[in-house]
Chain A
Amino acid sequence: MDAEITLTVDGQRRTVTVDTRTTLLDALRERLGVTNPKKGCDHGQCGSCTVLLDGRRHLTCLALAVAHDGAEVTTAGGLSGPDGALHPVQQAFLEHDGCQCGYCTPGQVCSAVGVLDEIRQGHASHVSEDLEAEPGLTDEEVRERMSGNLCRCGAYAGILAAVKQAGEQAGEQAGQEGAA
C-alpha cells in the first residue's frame, strides 16, 4: 500500500509517496535525499539515525514514515543558521574533536541538542541522585544521557567535552537573559 505524506525537513515542506513499510530513515535518505541521518544498525541500537522530531530527539529507523505524516524533522544539517553559522553544539564538536570518521556524528549532534533541552527542563536521568532536583551537567550525567549513541571510532572523550561546553554556554546565556 502506498501513502502520500508531507514532512517538514530542515524547514522545507516535502511531499512524497511512500510504501507503508518504509521507515522514516529510508524515506529521508532514499526518497528525499536527506542523508544526514545515518543507517548504522537499523534496529534501534546505535543512535546514528537520530533526528529532532517535533523538537525531541527520536530514532528514525524504528519509525514508519506513514505514521509521522505532518511531522517536523530537524537533522543535524538543519541546525545551522540560514547564513551557515554553526549551532553551538556543532561548533563544540569541531572544537573538541567530537568525531573521527564522522558517521555517528549527525546522530550524536541531534541527541546532544535533545539532552541539553531535557536537562534545561529539569528531567532526571538514571544517574541523578535526586529525581526532583535540578540535574547537573556532570560527566556522569552526560555519559548516561548520551548512552543511546554509539561511536565505533571511540571519540567519546571529545563528544563528552563538546556536549558539556555547549551546555555550559547555553546555561550562561540563559543566566544572562534571566538577569537582563
Chain B
Amino acid sequence: MKELTYHRAEDAASAVALVTGDPDARFLGGGTNLVDHLKLGVTSPTTLVDVSRLPMDEVAELPDGGLRVGANVRNSDLAAHPAVRRGWPVVARALLAGASGQIRNQATTGGNLLQRTRCVYFQDVTTPCNKREPGTGCSAIGGYGRYNAVLGASEACVTTHPSDLAVGLAAVDATVVVLGAGGERRVPMGDFHRLPSDRPEQDTTLAHGELVTAVELPASAVARRSTYRKARDRASYAFALVSVAAGVDLDDDGRVRDVRIAWGGVAHKPWRAAVAEEALRGKFLSEESVREAAEAELAAAVTDEQTAYKVPMVRNLTALTLTSLAEGATR
C-alpha cells in the first residue's frame, strides 16, 4: 500500500474540491470495498477524503410522498426504515439480501452504488484486466466465467455489477443526486451505471470528484407492491448469480396496469427489462405470460457454456417473483 494522506471532510463542497483537484484522491465511505481494494492493490490512491461523517445521513419524506435518502445512510438503517419497508419493500429486500449484518451496519448508500465488480481477475492484480488496467486485456473471456454478463457485454469486459441495492433502485426509478465542482445534478438510476463498451474502467457516468449526496425514491403503486429475489450459491452471504427486482400494479380485473422488472447478475449495470415490462402491460400475470415476456427481453442474450444457465434462471426467477407478488406474497 502506498503512503496515504487522510482528510476528514468538513463539508460536501470542500470534499468535492479536494478529490476533483487530485486524480489520486478517492472518497471514503464505510470502507468495506475501498479498504479491501487498498489491501489488494486494486487501487492505489495517495489521498483519502473521508465523507462518512458528513451530515448526509437522514431519510426524509418529501412533500410529494417520495423519500430522500442521504448518501451516508447505512444499508441496515435504510432497510429498517419504516417508510422504506412500507413504500419500497424491494429496496429493503434488496439490501437485506446482500452482504452480512456487520457489513450492512458499516456500508453507506453512496458507497454501495459505487462498489466495484467482484470479477476475480479484477481483484487479482497479477492478471490482465481492462477494468483495472485499461488495455491489458480481459482474463475473464475464456477464463472463469460463471458470474459473467449475458446482456450488454463488450469485447473489453464481460463482468457484472455486484450491488443488490442498485437493482432495487433501478426498479423503482430512483434518482441519484450528485454534487460536482460545477454544482448539483440529478441522474436517473438508469443512466447512473453504464455498459462497458470500450471503456470498462468507467463503471458509472460520474466524473472523478463527483460526490453522491442523496438518492430519491418516488412513491408509486408498483413500488408499494414490490419485492426482490436473489439466486446464489449459498443460502446467505453470497453475491447474486442472478436477481430480480419487481413491482406490480394490477387493475380490478387483475390485469397489469403497471409493472417494473430489473435484473441483477446479468449485465455491467442493473438491467431494466423494458421489453418484458411492455409485453406484460394489460396482460394477466401467469407463469406462461411472464416467461414469454422475459424471453422476449432475453432474445438479446449472448451466452457461453459457463453462463448459459443464467438465461433460464433469470426467466424462471422473474416468473416466480411476479406471480407470487400478484398472489399477494410479501416475500
Contacts and interface: CB of A to CB of B under 8 A. Distances in A.
B101 A44 contact: no
A66 interface: yes
B80 A124 contact: yes
A124 B85 contact: yes
Interface residues of A, number: 41
Interface string B95-125: 0110111110110000000000000000000
Contact of A147 (B35, B36, B80, B237): B237
B89 interface: yes
Contacts, number: 111
A138 interface: no
Contact of A64 (B6, B93, B102, B103): B6
Contacts of A1: 3-6
Given A67-B28, A123-B80, A131-B93, A148 B99 contact: yes
Given A21-B1, A129-B330, A124 B79 contact: yes
Contacts of A126: 93, 96-97, 236
Nearest to A55: B105
Nearest to B3: A1
B270 to A, nearest CB: 19
A130 B330 contact: yes
Contacts of A44: 32, 36, 103
B134 to A, nearest CB: 25
B294 to A, nearest CB: 24
Interface in A1-19: 1, 3
Nearest to B329: A129
Interface stretch (A82-90, A97-105, A113-121): A113-121
A20 B6 contact: yes
Interface residues of B, number: 40
Contact of A62 (B8, B32, B52): B32
Contacts of B6: 1, 3, 20, 64, 66-67
Interface centre among A58, A129, A143 (most CB of B within 10 A): A58
A21 to B, nearest CB: 5
Contacts of A128: 331
A111 to B, nearest CB: 7
Interface of B: 1, 3-6, 8, 28, 30-32, 35-36, 38-39, 48, 50, 52, 76, 79-80, 82, 85-86, 89, 92-93, 96-97, 99-103, 105-106, 235-237, 330-331
- Top 3 A-B pairs, shortest CB-CB distance: A148-B100, A147-B236, A131-B85
Given A67-B52, A122-B80, 11 more contacts: A21-B3, A57-B105, A59-B106, A62-B31, A64-B28, A111-B102, A123-B76, A123-B79, A123-B80, A132-B86, A148-B103
